[in-house]
Amino acid sequence: LTVAAFLLRALWSWLKRRARDPGAAAPLVARSRFHAADTAVFLFTVVATLSLLFTARLDVATNEWRTVIFVPALFYLAFRGIQPRQKEMWVILDAWVLGAVLVALIGLGQYATGSNLITAEGGLLRLRSIYGSPNNVALYLNRILPLLASMILLGQGQGRRRWLYGAAILPLGLALLLTFSKGGLLLGVPAGLLVVFWIWQKHNDRSPWPWTIAFIALGAAALFVASQVPALAQRLDLFGTTGVFRLNLWRASLEMIREHPLWGVGLDNFLYAYRGRYILAGAWQEPDLNHPHNLFLDFATRLGLFGVIAGGWLIWVLLCTLRRVLATVSERWLPVAAGLSGAMAAMLMHVLVDHSFFLVDLAFGFYMMIGTAVWLDNLPIGPKIPEQS
């Protein structure tokens, strides 16, 4: 619907221009500066589409293709085509943050009333909000928390927005904590916040090393204290039941890749291939896993070697774009660039042990990040007049 509205508006504007000046030759859609990310998104979409020719369960593959490949790509297309102005870009970012706050508040309300919770090892209650799994909550909120922290540290001159984003840290941080997601709390959150802190210190011409070492020591001490609580100790045990399942899952995934190296088993076909053929005897208690809990294995099992190349290039282009933007962006947009860099760090660390891209919210979130990074990269370089918040 958004793409249709975008195209209809472009058509209406084009017709009005033609009516005013019938001899003028104007494009239907205003051309934007070409970016390497455009090619990367297109290539990844093509590879995922071609994989449909090599999948066993076409019904589930086409559904995942529509929801996490094609429609998010349309979102990226509209994002690039609309070319939002700076004030409009803030509206988009504010809405993204507001959505995450609502997810957190729903989860906190459920936790307070004892509804829709997951009971983990040792009777530990885990928040899951609107999701089926607490880990999914952590995966999504991990992409927003660094932006909020960056706005507090680097958002001088942002007015009320700086403090509103800062206030949003409280519900998001508490919701993240109550997910008790090992990947989120031990990998994603520290990595995201550390990158934001590092950029903040460098921006102020201070060495980040002393504080970084202090934070690492503090984190290690907090982890030790938490491990003394019986319920938390079972959850934090890396060699417990969850760890054993992960190892067996990864071994089965490697065997799946060995037998389907080029195109994988297909989009959303992991579940059926895993429990039907590849599950190991040591993992029989958990046969209904639909992804391998690792970034590389997820792309390789779903889309094979071509998917790993296309997906890896997509991530690499985003990383290179953010690195370039951090060196050229204005003071006003530096918090966003730093926040996106922290979000990428959180994502890349968390997805070592969990879902990567192939969920609706994660796919849209990733294209939101890459679309925003490209938008920042296309801003004119040099001093800019600050806008009113």
H-assigned helices in 237-294 = 241-259, 270-273
Q: Return the pLDDT at 107.
A: 97
Q: Return the pLDDT at 42.
A: 96
Do the beta carbons of residue 96 and residue 372 sit within 8 Å?
A: no
DSSP designation for 263 = T
Q: Residue 94 is encoded by which pair of tokens?
A: 């504010």
| Cβ neighbours, 10 Å, residue 153 | 20
Q: Residue 189 is encoded by which pair of tokens?
A: 């959150």
Q: Kindly give, in sequence order, each residue whose CB lies less than 8 Å from that of residue 22, ignoring residues fewer than 6 positions away.
A: none
Q: At what angle do helices 360-377 and 134-141 cross, to 10 degrees?
A: 10
Q: Which helix (H) or strand (E) holds 173?
A: helix 160-179
Do the beta carbons of residue 264 and residue 304 sit within 8 Å?
A: yes
Do the beta carbons of residue 37 and residue 317 sit within 8 Å?
A: yes
Query: Which of 213, 214, 143, 141 has its CA nearest to residue 177?
Result: 141
Q: Kindly give, in sequence order, each residue whose CB lies less than 8 Å from that of residue 202, ignoring residues fewer than 6 positions away.
A: 208
How far is C-alpha 215 from the chain's CA centre? 24
Q: Residue 335 is encoded by which pair of tokens?
A: 């918090």
pLDDT digit string (tens) for 356-370? 899 999 999 999 999
Tokens 């947009």 belong to 333
Q: Residue 286 is encoded by which pair of tokens?
A: 């958990």
142: left (phi > 0), else alpha (psi -120 to 50), else beta? alpha
Concatenated DSSP letters of 64-80: HIIIIIIHHHHHHHHHH
Q: Return the pLDDT at 304.
A: 96
**Where does residue 312 rank: exposed (0-12), middle (13-18), buried (19+ CB within 10 A)?**
middle
Do the beta carbons of residue 155 and residue 106 sit within 8 Å?
A: no
Tokens 């934090």 belong to 236
- 3 state DSSP class of 96: helix
What are the E-state strand segments in 101-197? 118-119, 125-126
Q: Return the pLDDT at 386.
A: 45
Radius of gyration, CA atoms only, the chain: 22
As averages over each run of 10 residues, the pLDDT of the chain (389 residues) reads 86 85 63 85 97 94 96 93 91 96 97 92 87 94 96 90 95 95 91 94 87 82 72 62 78 94 95 89 78 94 96 96 94 95 95 92 96 92 47
- 3 state DSSP class of 40: helix
What are the E-state strand segments in 7-137? 118-119, 125-126
Do the beta carbons of residue 293 and residue 331 sit within 8 Å?
A: no
> Residue 280 to residues 108, 217, 250, 298: CA-CA distances in angstroms?
37, 38, 10, 18
Q: Return the pLDDT at 1.
A: 85
Query: Which of 327, 251, 339, 333 has its CA nearest to residue 294?
Result: 251
Do the beta carbons of residue 142 and residue 184 sit within 8 Å?
A: yes
- 3 state DSSP class of 113: helix
> Residue 108 to residues 140, 178, 232: CA-CA distances in angstroms?
15, 8, 19
DSSP designation for 85 = -
Do the beta carbons of residue 117 and residue 179 sit within 8 Å?
A: no
Q: Return the pLDDT at 196.
A: 95
